[in-house]
Structure 1
Amino acid sequence: MDRSRRRSNGNAIRGPQSALTDFLASHNISAQQINLDYQQRVRDAEQQAAQAAAAAAAEENKPDSSDEEDAAERKKRKRKEEKAIAKIKASKEFKKRKFEHHRDNPDESSNDDALVQDMMNKPKAPPKPGQFANCDVCEKRFTVTPYTVAGPDGGFLCTKCGKEIKDEKKKADHAAKKKKATPKARKRQTESDRMMGDVKPGAKSLVEHCVRKVADVVNDVEDFGELPQKLLDRLSQILSKKRVLTPRTLQLFLQPGIDRINVYDCAKLESEDFQKIFAFMPDLETVNLRFAGQLKDDSLHYMLEKNHKIKHLQLGATNLISDPAWIDLFQQMGSQLETLKLSELNDAMKDSTVEIMAAKCTTLRRLKMRSCPHMTEASINSISTMTTIEHLSLSVAQDSGSEVLVNLISNLGPNLKTLSLEDYFYADDTVLAAIKQHCTRLKKLRLTGGASFTDAMFANLFWEDWSNPPIPFVDLSCNRDTDPDIGPGEEEAGNPDAVGFGSNAFKGLFQHSGSNLERLDLHSNRHISHEALIEVFDGVKIYPALQDIDLSFVTHVDDVVMSGIFKSCPALQKLTVFACFSINELQIPRGIAVIGIPTAQTAVEVVGES
């Protein structure tokens, strides 16, 4: 009975131990491993103590340079050294080494002094987690953990010093990163300026820096004061680009004594803001309001009521103005208008309205119409009667045939100084013939997006005796064969009719206008051959006035052509060559902005360096 009770009590006692064993086993915890780790820590601690004692004894044994050490001190140092050696011999590490030496070399007698010296000279092992160490900075004693930071001298740092070191390193990394990012931001601003047309090399002027600084803090500015009109326009450009021209910032531009207002982004202005412009500035002669989506009929009528001196009017995206309101404008103000530029009118400007405009605007010298989908060939015929126009730009009624355009050029051509016809897909060589016959005063010619002009007729326009003087501004881009079956490198073979602006036209253009040409845009004219490009830009022929060239998507442009352009165009400031993949390695002269090459910035030639 007692034996069974004892057996049951024993089972009751072993039950929790068994559960603990199972728990430790499930978590990969071994009692034997714990014991081995403990023994290792003890041996390491003994070894550290022995090494410390040996180091102290060695320090005591150093000769004194002053030779003032007496016999008592030497005796004391010797006593410490013997004590340290005895401690090392009594340690388990010494006994283990002695046993291993006897086991590996049974024929040799163990040299205890050699073993002791070897243990004393062994480098000190770094403390492990759970052991004590002295901080490398403040020398404070602390417990080493797996997260302890290494010190500069190979030791460890306490928690406080480690945190300070981490904070200092983080600040240094942040400062270095910020310093490194600054050139990228500057480069991005430089490329943005180049795309906007600002290609002057070197530092910006003091005035430009001041204007940009004012634009950065415009929300804190209370009044611009009496700034010149040129600076006000520059401020408006910068604020419009940043999309920060609001009713509050608009108030800064409203000065009664100024005769012009240029707002390049009116997207954030409301109808009453436009009325405020016309109320505060009654002497306006030039009105330029772009993206004026909230300019409505009542605002336009308010302008007609308050402003009687307007001569130059440019409105963009004014889709909420109806045709009756436009008719009122032409009837009341048409006789005094000298410039009229309208664009993006999706719901107005029908043919009947254009007819009234042509009848009432009798002194108009500049006319620009873009993206007015309600205008048809009838509108172009109405414009053909406005013989006072000297500068004409049309990008409307693109479905018109060549007959309508020929009639337009025949009536207005003798008086035109600017002719811009964009994206008239169906225009053919008869339009070029009409230009050659009737236009003799052109200073700006833009014909883009044609798919029926031929290279021979373009060449005839320039090669033969055209009485028009050399033209400073020429834009003949996107005149090419639109056959989708023509692949890369097949332009000549796949274009037997020589459709588009090609090699002969390219040579003829420079023969006619090369001496006076300032801006040239030929992008996407893929039929210009490599031979023609080299012949024109051979580095011998000089085009002294050429400053801006766009040869994007002219696939034959390569390093040789680029080098010739730099030599033939001494006044060149801006060269755009997007998608010219044959450009690999070249040196860009300083002062020229090359846009479209990812490595253009690193290819700039440094003048004066060997």
Structure 2
Amino acid sequence: MTRNNIRGPTSALTEFLKDSGITATTIARRVATRPPQNQNQDDNDGQPVAGPSTAPAASTSRGSRRRRPARASGYNSDDLDDPEGEEEEEESLAKKRKLTKPAEAKQKEKAKKKKKGSDDEDYNEDDDAYTALSKSLWTNNGSSSSKPPVGSFEECAVCEKQFTVTKYTMAANPGPGYLCHTCAKASGNDPFKKSASPKKRKVPADKRTITHFVESRFPSLVSLCIDLVTTHIDDIEALGDIGTMNMEAISKALSKNRRLTPENAKLFYNASNLSLTLFDATNLPSPALESLAYLNANLTSLRLDFCGLLDNAAFKVFSTSLPALTRIELLGPFLVRSEAWQTFFKAHPILEGFLITQSPRFDVACAQSLVQHCPGLKELRLKEVGKMSDEFIEEIMELGVGLTYLDISDPTDSCSDDTLIGMLSVFGAELTYLNVSKHRLITDRFLTDGLAEYTQHLDSLLLSHLPELTDKGVADFFGEWNGRPPMRLLELARNHELGSAALEAIMKHSGKRLEELNINGWKEVGEDALRAIGRRGVELRKIDVSWCREMDDFIMKAWFEGEDVRGVRKGGCMKVKEIKLWGCNKITNRCQKKSGTSIHGVESHVVR
């Protein structure tokens, strides 16, 4: 029969004896050679001379402590851990054999524990380390009985009803006995509640520092006064008459924290006002907007941003109480319905500027009413109008010649190339501003057959988010657009197919006059084309080259200082005030800087 290598737990003394070369065999040999001291005791005990340390212990009854038998004259390997003989044996062995370092450390630790004493009141030195009951079984508030087996029947210690024991059964407190599930819940302990899993330590993610180089200037006296007024805006009566010169600046300051309320909005009201701008009307309910119309009856221009609480009732007051209004600009008039729009157009036949953003209820009937009652319209913005369609555009085309500003961007569904080209054939002659961004069906044909054919005075063009435009198509358009004035504002952001050819053609055509350029998302544009911005864009004020991957510190230096051509510095964006560089990973925080220029989005990739 083969032996396996599976062994049970051993005590510290057994390990010590093993390290010292003392085993059960050597002890048995020593006893066999020793003369008997008390033969009668050996006969009465009937214990074997020596045996394995894993011999089965004597069985004990439930709930009672097992006491070991009297010590025999010989050595019993099961009693090697008995504390009564440990000390003498250790002393004798220490004299005969030099202790190893691990054994010496264990011996010192055992002596230290013996000196300190045990904190467990239930600990008994007579207990065998191999056969003593586990402390985890000493449950039920001091009762020595273990938990009854699963599936057996017990009586509840509280309600005295019989129940089946499960692994969720809990001991009564105070004991003895166990509780049924109902009584356990009633005591405030849910036996089925899962223990909360330990929270994992969150590993901090890598952080990137986004650097903005903005020149801080000492505040002017006017800005300090504006800050003082906005701080004490609620004490409006104490402010008195502060004049109308800086009203717009105060309105901007209030809008940063949305502090404009029906109470302090009266600061901006005056019967002599001809123009009123509120940059954040979020907290102005419908009655407050009605008061605005009553107290500013002579307004000719009105702008309200974030006017989501403007409803039909207030807008009808605008129709009746603002007869001189010629220009209105609204951001977010969600609640105004088609009937109210049509009533407004009928009451304002002299309207020249109608600019709205985010109006889901403005439909084709509203467009028909606008064209019918406001024939002298010069500015038209219908941005983010959900019902925009080809039919919508065909109704607007009835306005005829005279429109100089047109914004029909961000529709839900794009209009077709043919419809937009037909629109340019009507409005193109006098248009100076055009925004058709996010009409995703626009192709290169819109440029060649529409813009190149019909526009003559265009100086602001916004063509963002048009995936069908190609690099060659845009390059050919600007390259052949001879005789047309250069652009002042050009935005072609998020057109991922555009690249170096398009940018070089743009700078060659419009670089000498261009003030704002946005090529955000042109990831394929090359280094030479980016340098062309510095060579030709001498009038640029704002530049957005975010996500142009070839932007680096050397190109920035060329923009600010120009390039050395045969010993002479030429070019350079000397008038630039703002540059956006989001996603340009080759730009570092050591890039060239210029006094008076704000640089946003330098990602230095510094991990904290």
SS at match of 2:408: strand
**Distance in 2 of aligned mates of 1:569 and 1:379:** 42
1:375 CA displacement? 2.3
Q: More helix by proportion, 1 or 2? A: 1
Alignment of 1:16-95 (within 5 A): none
Counting matched residue pairs gives 389
The 2-side partners of 1:272 and 1:397 are apart by: 32
Q: CA deviation at 1:464?
A: 1.8
From 422, 430, 452, the counterpart of 2:445: 430
* Whole-angstrom CA distance in 2 between matches of 1:27 and 1:220: 70
SS of the residue corresponding to residue 597 of structure 1 reads strand
Match of 2:599 among 566, 589, 594: 594
1:462 aligns with 2:511: no
Q: What is the aligned partner in structure 1 of residue 402 from structure 2?
A: 388
Q: Cα gap change, 1:223/1:501 in structure 2, threshold over 3 Å: closer, same or farther?
A: farther
Counterpart residue number, 1:11 = none
Q: 1:367 is paired with a residue of what secondary structure?
A: strand
Task: After TM superposition, list the pairs within 5 Å mapping 1:348-359 onto structure 2.
Answer: 348-359=361-372
User: Which residue in the other structure is 2:58 paired with?
Assistant: none
Instruction: Answer whether contact 1:222 1:252 (CA < 8 A) is retained.
Output: no
2:434 alignment partner, SS class = strand
Which one of 453, 456, 466 corresponds to residue 440 of structure 1?
456
Q: Distance in 2 between matches of 1:252 and 1:286?
A: 18
| Contact 1:201 1:591 (C-alpha < 8 Å) held by counterparts | no
Partner of 2:523: 526
Counterpart in the other structure of 1:17: none
1:283 counterpart (298, 313, 321) = 298
TM-score (norm 1): 0.61
The counterpart of 1:340, out of the listed 354, 365, 368, is: 354
Distance 1:23 1:301, change over 3 A: farther
- CA shift, 1:479, in A, is 1.4
Q: Which residue of 1 aligns with 2:96?
A: none
Equivalent position SS for 2:428: helix
Instruction: Name the CA shift for 1:311/1:457 in 2 (closer, same or farther; >3 Å).
Output: same
2:416 pairs with 1:417: no
Distance apart, 1:435 and its partner CA: 0.5
* 1:196-240 superposed Cα distances (whole Å, 9 cap, x missing partner): xxx776323221221122212222332655445451111111111
Contact 1:271-1:294 within 8 A present in 2 as well: yes
Shift of 1:467: 2.3
Q: Decide whether aligned partners of structure 1 residues 293 and 428 sit closer, same or farther in structure 2, where only a CA change above 3 A counts.
A: same
Identity %: 23
| 8 Å Cα contact 1:364-1:389 kept in structure 2 | yes
User: Could you tell me which residue of structure 2 aligns to residue 320 of structure 1?
Assistant: 335
- 1:552-571 aligned at under 5 Å gives the runs 552-567=546-561, 568-571=572-575
Structure 1 residue aligned with 2:540, among 536, 546, 559? 546
Task: Give me the whole-angstrom Cα distance separating, in 2, the residues matched to 1:557 and 1:224.
Answer: 51
User: Does the Cα contact within 8 Å between 1:285 and 1:310 map onto a contact in 2?
Assistant: yes
Match in the other structure for 2:468:
452
Deviations 1:497-542 (A, max 9, x none): xxx32211101111111111111111112231223223x14x6x35
- CA contact 2:521–2:545 (8 Å) conserved in 1: yes
* Corresponding residue SS for 1:267: coil
1:362/1:388 contact within 8 Å kept: no
Q: Which amino acid aligns with 1:460?
A: D
Where 1:470 maps in the other structure, the secondary structure is: coil
Q: Look up the equivalent residue of 1:339 and give its one-letter code.
A: G
Counterpart pick for 2:587 among 583, 588, 591: 583
1:511 paired with 2:527, answer: no
Per-residue displacement from partner, 1:331-376 (whole Å, max 9, x unpaired)?
A: 221x211111111112x11112212212222111111111111222
3-state SS, counterpart of residue 380 of structure 2: strand
Cα distance, 1:249 vs structure 2: 1.6
Map residues 106-255 of structure 1 onto 2, 5 A cutoff. 202-222=217-237, 225-255=240-270
Unmatched segments (≥5 aa) in structure 1: 1-21, 29-187, 481-499, 601-610
Counterpart residue identity of residue 473, structure 1: L
- C-alpha deviation, 1:26, in angstroms: 5.8
- Matches of 1:239 and 1:519, distance apart in 2: 28
Q: Deviations over 1:468-510 (max 9, x none)?
A: 2111111111112xxxxxxxxxxxxxxxxxxx32211101111
1:301 aligns with 2:298: no
Measured at CA, do residues 304 and 24 of structure 1 come closer, stay the same or move farther in structure 2, by a change above 3 Å?
A: same
Distance 1:401 1:367, change over 3 A: same
CA distance in 2, matches of 1:417, 1:502: 26
Is the CA contact (8 Å cut-off) linking 1:391 and 1:416 kept in structure 2? yes
Q: Which AA in structure 2 matches 1:551? A: V
The structure with higher relative contact order (CA 8 Å, sep 6+) is: 2
Q: In the alignment, what sits opposite 1:369? A: 382
- Cα deviation 1:585-605 (Å, max 9, x = unaligned): 3231222110011569xxxxx
Report the TM-score, using the length of structure 2 for normalisation.
0.61
User: Residues 514 and 543 of structure 1 are in contact (CA less than 8 Å); yes or no, is this contact kept in structure 2?
Assistant: yes
Residues 23 and 271 of structure 1: is their aligned pair in 2 closer, same or farther, counting only changes over 3 Å?
Answer: farther
Equivalent-residue separation in structure 2 for 1:263 and 1:300 (angstroms)? 16
Q: CA deviation at 1:466?
A: 2.6
Contact kept in structure 2, 1:211 and 1:235, CA below 8 Å = yes
Q: After TM superposition, what 4+ stretches of structure 1 lie above 6 angstroms from structure 2?
A: none
Q: Give secondary structure in 2 for the equivalent of 1:255.
A: coil
CA distance 1:247–1:456, shift in 2 (3 Å): same
Note the 1:461-480 alignment, pairs <5 A.
Answer: 461-480=477-496
What is residue 360 of structure 1 aligned with on the other side? 373
> For 1:257-282, what per-residue CA distance to the aligned partner results, in whole angstroms no more than 9, with x for missing partners?
21122111111111110110011111
Q: Are 1:223 and 1:252, in contact at CA under 8 Å, matched by a contact in 2?
A: no
Q: Relative to 1, partners in 2 of residues 1:509 and 1:232: Cα closer, same or farther, differing over 3 Å?
A: same
Letter in 1 for 2:502: A
